[in-house]
Amino acid sequence: MNILAFESSCDETSAAIVERLDDGELRIKSNIIASQIETHRLYGGVVPEIASRAHAEAISRITYEALSEADLSLSDVDLIAVTANPGLIGALLVGVNFAKGIAAANNIPLVAVDHIKGHAAAALLGDKDSAPKPPYLALTVSGGHTAIYLVEDYTDFKIIGTTRDDAIGEAFDKIGRIIGIPYPAGKGFDELSKKGFILATGDKEAFYSKYKKSAAYKDREMTLPSPAIADDSLDFSFSGLKTAAINLLHRFEQSGRELPRELFAARYTFEAVEAVAKKISLALALHPGLDLVLSGGVAANSHLRYRLNEVCRKAGVSLFMPPISLCGDNAAMIAAQGYYEYMKGNLADSTLNASALDSIV
């Protein structure tokens, strides 16, 4: 079975072909991603109207590329999957309308995919035996989301924890921009923090685990609040961390001192990662024996990957992390989730509409 999938919820236009093999493997045959990052970088963030236009310009070409790289034509496609929510409405509409058109013109079944479920489904791509099996917990950390889900079945997600304001990716992007890291700042922040951990611990490699004992960690001037809500909930608040960081940066500026950028990045990353580790430890304790799937653009963060590995090992459960190349927005993950929606009988038709809103409650 060949699945053609589309993703256009934010600033990446993507089309992919995923084949479902008889042994259950979901094999990526092509996964074309046209990134708009260079365009939006000029503005320091995504401009929705520009995003929609760029999707409309790219989608036919990348569909052609996805089919030709997989050596297939539309007559070989058995299912079409498309991200229908959440995201930028104008951007989503490009993918949804394009998918509806191809499905109707070629008489191919269509399924709508929730972007968040799609991110978690990145872990389902590849060999069936090494993929997680529900029930499991999924943590989605991206530019728009920071949430923990209880995945009872491949298509049945319940939210058990979320951010009450900003997402973790947004927290990296916004502060990163202020300290001069180009948009999207997540990757640059990751690298700068690595240098910060090396500086703080005096080691040749970045030893995250040694940071807490370093003199840099005890530097009161660098103190930042935890974005983990201080109660029994699984919720976060990243706006407090962001505001405190802005105040810290102002203090340095006003006193004319140069900011130790690496050490600042390390502290900021440490607080963000520790908050996630804390709430994930709690979630794993509340749901004993469930494995964890890490997903979303921020799942590429090396410090978060290291720390969650430690948390899961301690809890005696497995951590499933998609390869870095499948953490950000891509259509292969939408195809994987689309397959399970199809198996569940969740078919869409020509009345399908896009929505900016979350559908998982």
| Contact residues: ligand KG4, CB under 6 A | 10, 142-144, 169, 172-173, 184-187, 189-190, 296-298, 300-301, 328-329
**From the list Zn ion, ligand KG4, none, which binds 95 (C-beta under 5 to 8 Å, kind-based)?**
none
Instruction: For ligand KG4, give the closer residue by CB, 189 or 208.
Output: 189
Instruction: For ligand KG4, give the closer residue by CB, 20 or 119.
Output: 119
Please, what is the minimum distance in Å from the beta carbon of residue 96 to Zn ion? 16
Instruction: For ligand KG4, give the closer residue by CB, 8 or 155.
Output: 8
DSSP string, 31-84: EEEEE-HHHHHTTTS--HHHHHHHHHHHHHHHHHHHHHHTT--GGG--EEEEEE
Please, what is the minimum distance in Å from the beta carbon of residue 16 to ligand KG4? 15
> Which whole-number Å values give the CA distances from 283 to 151, 153, 234, 280, 322, in the listed order?
13, 18, 7, 5, 20
Binding of residue 140 to Zn ion (CB under 5 A): no
Please, what is the minimum distance in Å from the beta carbon of residue 189 to ligand KG4? 6
Strand, coil or helix: what is 30? strand
How many whole angstroms separate alpha carbon 107 and alpha carbon 18?
19
Reference 55, options 76, 36, 69, 77; nearest CA is 36
Instruction: For ligand KG4, give the closer residue by CB, 25 or 191.
Output: 191
Applying CB under 5 A, the site for Zn ion has a residue count of 2
Residues found in the chain? 361
Please, what is the minimum distance in Å from the beta carbon of residue 209 to ligand KG4? 18
Count of other CB atoms within 10 angstroms of residue 259: 17
Radius of gyration of the chain (CA): 21
Binding of residue 170 to Zn ion (CB under 5 A): no
In the chain, which ranges are E strands? 2-7, 12-20, 26-35, 79-85, 110-114, 136-141, 146-153, 156-162, 292-295, 319-320
**From the list ligand KG4, Zn ion, none, which binds 136 (C-beta under 5 to 8 Å, kind-based)?**
none
**From the list Zn ion, ligand KG4, none, which binds 70 (C-beta under 5 to 8 Å, kind-based)?**
none
Residue 324: DSSP 8-state: G
Please, what is the minimum distance in Å from the beta carbon of residue 115 to ligand KG4? 6
Determine which residue in the list 329, 331, 333, 335 makes contact with Zn ion, applying CB under 5 A.
329
How many whole angstroms separate alpha carbon 61 and alpha carbon 229?
45
Determine which residue in the list 142, 155, 237, 337 makes contact with Zn ion, applying CB under 5 A.
142
- Binding site residues, Zn ion, CB under 5 A: 142, 329
